[in-house]
Amino acid sequence: MATETTETTGIIDRTMLPLPKVRKYNQVWIGLAVLVVAFAIGLPLADSASKFTLFMITGLALGYILTRSRFGYAGGVKRIWMTGEGSLTKALVITFALASIGAAGLHWAAAQGGAVAAKVAGEGDSVIPGTQNVGFIGIGLVVGGLLFGAGMIMAGGCASGTLSDLGEGMVRVVFSLPMFIVGSIIGVWMAFELGTTSLGTWGTKIYLPDSLGYLGAVAVTLLGLLAVYAITRWYEQKRKGKNLYEVEEWRADEKELPEQPADEPYRFFSNRTFHTLFRTRWSFNTGAVLLAFMFVFILITTKKSWGVTGVFSEWGIWFLNLFGIEFTHPAFAAVNEALDGGVMNLGTGVRNVGIILGAAVALLLASRFAWNRQFSMR
């Protein structure tokens, strides 16, 4: 398996690493303690216990899935480029396809009930859940997307991958996550300033069901994903033909155990059961299906799409406020208003902390947690 540090970035992509080897069983108790402490600290500080619980459990589930399946969104690009093997890229196609179908169903049901897209909603209108994320297509999106894409490849992970990396004990995240947060603060200011210029306001918002209907929007999305799948298969074959194709081989302690002998009695409380429940590595496809389910779950329970980076600027400004640094520019009005409610009441922030803890718990319950100091400053 390709686990060597890359010459271009000096960073190993999380999806190209095996799960750490099995260590001491006392890590299981530490993992359970992490869960207890998270709720013991968070619940008293939150205004709404039910909201905190919802976002924390959702985050824990996301972090657990990302780590147990070694899933990563940046890896969908980097992994196939480094190895020629596109299993993660194809799994991403599954995630986006299932999530798109689920979201379309929820959007359609909301529209039938009188809800409208957020971009045209007026005072008192019911908003179709998730349409708050229909963004402006313009120069900011193009430049921001290019910068974000380059950054996540160099950092070895996207936003969710960075959080799960931190939970997995990747020391390099101590450097990359603060830069992520600083960049988010700068991005809030730049978006505001760009929005006051003619160049920044050139573009449009497109909600596909407005012009194609819900079936048409799903069809176009699936056709686009089918094209990604076809390109992935073509590229895999091209790399195979050049003998530049590497297939990942899971370690023995990550695989399912051999079938239990017929003459061996079944015992639920056994190493075999423990290995199956907590240690066996999940496939990318398993992670893809579960993450799509979580996306739809978040859309149903919060009426918003799953997002990670939006709260980074709030985290950064909250931290700097502790040192007396204030952000009074109009660009940060919404951030300051959100922080007035308390940092523990930022739902996305709680969910992000849950992702970190969920990733850690995934390794602790499997007795695999270990600090990984392998990184390069190049």
Question: Letter for the amino acid at 138?
Answer: G
For residue range 272-286, list pLDDT tens digits in order.
899 999 999 999 999
What does the pLDDT average to over 110-116?
95
* C-alpha to C-alpha distance for 112 and 156, rounded to whole angstroms: 42
* C-alpha to C-alpha distance for 207 and 131, rounded to whole angstroms: 8
Q: What is the pLDDT of residue 157?
A: 80
Of 139-143, 164-168, 362-366, 371-375, which gets the smallest average pLDDT?
371-375
What does the pLDDT average to over 168-184?
91
* C-alpha to C-alpha distance for 77 and 69, rounded to whole angstroms: 17
* C-alpha to C-alpha distance for 220 and 207, rounded to whole angstroms: 12
- Within 10 A of 128 (CB to CB), how many other CB atoms are there? 24
Exposure of 124 in the CB half-sphere (CA atoms within 13 A): 0
Of 176-185, 209-218, 288-297, 367-376, which gets the smallest average pLDDT?
367-376
What does the pLDDT average to over 335-356?
95
Tokens of 68: 């147990």
Cross-strand bridge partners of residue 325: none
Question: Letter for the amino acid at 274?
Answer: F
* C-alpha to C-alpha distance for 209 and 215, rounded to whole angstroms: 8
For residue range 196-247, list pLDDT tens digits in order.
888 888 888 899 999 999 999 999 999 999 999 999 999 999 999 999 999 8
Phi, psi of 203 (to 5 degrees): 145, -160
pTM of the model: 0.91
pLDDT above 50: residue 9: no
Q: What is the pLDDT of residue 2?
A: 39
182 φψ region: left (φ > 0), alpha (ψ -120 to 50), beta (else): alpha
Identify whether the C-beta of residue 129 lies closer than 8 Å to the C-beta of residue 303.
Answer: yes
Closest residue by Cα to residue 304 from 61, 156, 129: 129
Q: What is the pLDDT of residue 378?
A: 58
Mean pLDDT of the chain: 91
Per-domain residue ranges for the chain?
14-116+126-255+269-365
Phi, psi of 308 (to 5 degrees): -120, -45
Exposure of 6 in the CB half-sphere (CA atoms within 13 A): 18
* DSSP 8-state secondary structure symbol assigned to residue 137: E
- Within 10 A of 168 (CB to CB), how many other CB atoms are there? 27
Exposure of 2 in the CB half-sphere (CA atoms within 13 A): 21
What does the pLDDT average to over 339-349?
94
Tokens of 369: 């947690």
Q: What is the pLDDT of residue 376?
A: 64
Identify whether the C-beta of residue 358 lies closer than 8 Å to the C-beta of residue 63.
Answer: yes
